[in-house]
A = this chain, B = another copy of it.
Amino acid sequence: MGVVVPLEDKPEERAGIERLVALVAPGMESVNRLILSRVGSDVAMIPEVANHLISSGGKRLRPMLTLACASLCGYAGNGDVKLAASVEFMHTATLLHDDVVDESDMRRGKLAARMLWGNEASVLVGDFLLGQAFKMMVEVGSLPALDVLATAAAVIAEGEVWQLSAAKNTATTEDDYLAVVRAKTAALFAAACEVGPIIAGRAKAEQAACRSYGTNLGIAFQLVDDALDYGGTSTKLGKNVGDDFREGKITLPVVLSFRRGSDEERAFWARTLEQGEIAEGDLDYAIAIMRRHKALEDTIERARHYGAMARDALALFPDGEMKRALLETVDFCIARAH
């Protein structure tokens, strides 16, 4: 006799993003066309720099979430496409500015734009994309959606400055670190999801539900990213493994390792991350310490916790293909770690 196993109970067995991709494919075609048309400019450097990043194969998870949440809420207009493109532009602008701030050499497996066109172009093309993002939002004409996205823009920048002030401080607590993640990553996921029910004219409860889904998915996503930075391969990640280590970023795997470690290990973290004195073999040693203290596994465990909250946030929506796709997306984000 067969036993019906509800999908929700064994989430990571079906951890694909394929259902989401398939369901939003027609909308994403419009989003991609819109993105290409809005990076156009008589100033040749703008589409060059923007396309370098835009065409480099990000998953475009954030705009997919906007389309999916709008659809989940029964939205039938075409404002979701412009908002989705705005969200992707905001994200791309953040990446361009981040690379300048972090002095990164690589992004998505390619040379960072700043290595090819200079910091100046990265700053200014980022500003251009932000401006275009706001123009598109205004065209949609929803003041509440504008409010959500403008607030996210301010919160993201605030979180980045916070991270800058907190950088290289091994005494960072898990709470401090989570506050940064909420601001710099989760705020845009939350806004991307929340504008869906807003333009669909749905009640506050649905808006809050989608916002909560986005916030918690965003946190889970970032925590997994932090773990991958110490546990993946360069090819798989599309970035250099150990980037966070070399940049002295205090992420959750470090916070946990530092707190659980010996005096000798703490001296190691202070030398490498605070003083930035990194020698041959230090990255391998950092990973060994993390494994010893189960810091990577527990970072993923924390991610799973936020993933569960994201899943529960959608409970008030009736079952259906789109809801199922959004639930599977949570599992996909966490399963990246394995």
Binding site for B on A (CB under 8 A): 41-46, 97, 100-101, 119-121, 123-125, 127-128, 130-132, 134-135, 137-139, 141, 143, 146-147, 150-158, 160-162, 164-165
Q: Which residue of B lies closest to A166 (CB)?
A: B43
Contacts of A134 in B (CB 8 A): 134, 146, 150, 153-154
Given B42, B44, B123, B139, which contacts A97 in the complex, CB threshold below 8 Å? B123
Q: Across the interface, do A165 and B45 meet the contact criterion of CB distance under 8 Å?
A: yes
Q: Across the interface, do B45 and A125 meet the contact criterion of CB distance under 8 Å?
A: no
Contacts of A41 in B (CB 8 A): 158, 161
Q: Across the interface, do A46 and B146 meet the contact criterion of CB distance under 8 Å?
A: no
Q: Across the interface, do A124 and B153 meet the contact criterion of CB distance under 8 Å?
A: no
- The smallest beta-carbon distance between A211 and chain B, in angstroms, is 17
Contacts of A146 in B (CB 8 A): 134, 138, 146
Q: Across the interface, do A43 and B156 meet the contact criterion of CB distance under 8 Å?
A: no
Q: Across the interface, do A128 and B157 meet the contact criterion of CB distance under 8 Å?
A: yes
Tell me, in angstroms, the Cα distance from A119 to B42 when the chains sit together: 28
Tell me, in angstroms, the Cα distance from A109 to B158 when the chains sit together: 27
Contacts of A152 in B (CB 8 A): 131
| 17 extra interface residue pairs, beta carbon distance < 8 Å, beyond A131-B156, A135-B151 | A41-B161, A43-B161, A45-B161, A46-B158, A100-B119, A101-B124, A124-B161, A127-B153, A128-B154, A128-B158, A130-B153, A130-B157, A134-B150, A135-B147, A135-B150, A138-B147, A146-B146
Given B43, B139, B147, B155, which contacts A162 in the complex, CB threshold below 8 Å? B43
Contacts of A42 in B (CB 8 A): 162
Tell me, in angstroms, the Cα distance from A112 to B272 when the chains sit together: 31
Q: Across the interface, do A153 and B125 meet the contact criterion of CB distance under 8 Å?
A: no
Q: Across the interface, do B154 and A43 meet the contact criterion of CB distance under 8 Å?
A: no
Q: Which residue of B lies closest to A118 (CB)?
A: B164
Contact (A143, B153) CB under 8 Å given A119-B100, A120-B101, A124-B97? no
Contacts of A154 in B (CB 8 A): 128, 131-132, 134-135
Contacts of A127 in B (CB 8 A): 97, 130, 153, 156-157, 160
Contacts of A143 in B (CB 8 A): 138, 141, 143
Given B44, B135, B153, B165, which contacts A44 in the complex, CB threshold below 8 Å? B165
Pick 7 A–B contacts, CB within 8 A, sort by A. A46-B161, A127-B153, A130-B130, A131-B151, A131-B156, A134-B134, A135-B151
